[in-house]
Chain A
Amino acid sequence: MALPDMDPPSIPSIETRLTYTDSSSRTVYSTEVEVPFPEGRLIVSRTDLAGLITHANDAFVEMSGYPREELIGAPHHILRHPDMPKLAFKGLWDDVAAGKKWHGYVKNLRKDGACYWVYATAVPNIRNGVIVGYTSVRRKPSRTRIAELVPVYQQWLADEKAAS
């Protein structure tokens, strides 16, 4: 499913053309604004095997900035921030498709162009021995780990751009 281009925010932003793993692409806008992770909460979503969102809890809806009806049925990469290198997601789909758990620190993009950092965990939903979908839970991340990872992600992104 191809996502429509984002609307430009009313404040200064960076325009980027993102191409996703399903080969679709769209223009996104990112601002310098970071929204803090809500205290004590978890951001929860589920997707089907194709990565389309089937469930979003209230915290997911609030933090993403999208209305629920825009999220349900949309690909999970609707949250993909242009600062996130592909390498940071390495193993995500391979791990969960193999029945394993995946963890990672992720900078997500909101509908308004702001961002929010999370510590994400994804697990396969196994029913009667068969994977029927995936659950992803995001919790408040360690700022120390984020500070360590920002330059790493920047380097990976630069490497990916140089290679393409």
Chain B
Amino acid sequence: MTLNFLIAPDFAPERFAGWHMLNTTLQRRSGIGLHLLTPANAHEQAELLTAGKADLVYANPFDATDMIRTHGYLPFARPAQRYDEMVIATGAESGLSSVDDLKPGCRIALNENKDVKLIGLRLLEPADLTEALIEWVPVDSYQAAARRAIKGEVEASFFLADAFASLTRMTRSQLRVLVQSAISDISHVLLAHPRMAEQLPAIEKALLGLGQAAGDADVLEALGLPHGFEPMTQEEAEFMIDLMDTLLD
């Protein structure tokens, strides 16, 4: 029996090999066949989830809300010491130095990451900026968001903090951070469909044991998750969902 392992499409392209390495390692240690699903975007992910093809999911927190509360997915792990934070940055030459310098009608580039948008909107509130007062400029990558800000085509861009940190040093030197979130309570989540409850303990043991064997550090390094994974209880996931609920409006 082979299970499908779906990875949320918001990881940096250079982590692609890391997810394949993790998949191989989990298969070997659990004795369970795993087929990796890497949808290219949120639309493809939604299609796979609707078709009921995801047994295991590495979900972003926004999607995890619906998967846990509506579809009964079981949370069991999360990246250790790795939270989903976001950055609002402007071009280094823009003359803007804080979120308060952004005014109604300003242009902000963002991709389809809903968590980044949600947290970003909350960080703009102190400047009296609401979603309707911003001219949103959709982009298909964080690199494109950076380019737009550097060229002055937008006043600011939204980034997942990890993605911002992954930009080249040259690119980052041409950007200025206006604000960075430091929430420390919102993270990606490992979820299991209830139908695989029987296989879950073996997968869980293999995943949480990562970091103890020779070569594990290479896998975790390739994933950009050097501290590996830690257990996450149902209540811890529910707590995170309640917290995200407060950020919706």
Contacts and interface: CB of A to CB of B under 8 A. Distances in A.
Contact of A44 (B180, B181, B185, B249): B185
Contacts of B184: 57-58
A42 interface: yes
B40 interface: no
A123 interface: yes
A41 interface: yes
Interface residues of B, number: 23
B87 to A, nearest CB: 9
Contacts, number: 63
Interface stretch (B18-26, B70-78, B118-126, B225-233): B118-126
Interface string B205-249: 000000000000000000000000000000100110011011101
A119 B247 CA distance: 11
Interface residues of A, number: 29
Contacts of B123: 40, 140
Given A121-B246, A137-B247, A142-B128, A42 B185 contact: yes
A69 interface: no
Contact of A41 (B128, B183, B245): B183
Contact of B238 (A125, A137, A141): A125
Contacts of A125: 238-239, 242
Contact of B185 (A40, A57, A119, A136): A57
A107 interface: no
Nearest to A144: B128
Interface in A1-28: none
A120 to B, nearest CB: 9
B122 A139 contact: yes
Interface in B155-190: 179-185
Contacts of A144: 128
A38 B235 CA distance: 27
A143 interface: yes
Contact of B180 (A40, A58, A119, A123): A40
Contacts of B245: 101, 123
A81 interface: no
Nearest to A134: B242
Nearest to A135: B242
B183 A42 contact: yes
Interface string B119-144: 00011011110000000000000000
Contacts of B127: 142
Contact of A137 (B85, B182, B235, B243): B243
Nearest to A39: B179
Given A44-B243, A101-B245, A135-B246, 17 more contacts: A39-B182, A40-B180, A40-B181, A44-B185, A55-B239, A58-B184, A101-B246, A101-B249, A121-B246, A122-B246, A123-B245, A135-B239, A136-B246, A137-B246, A139-B122, A140-B125, A140-B126
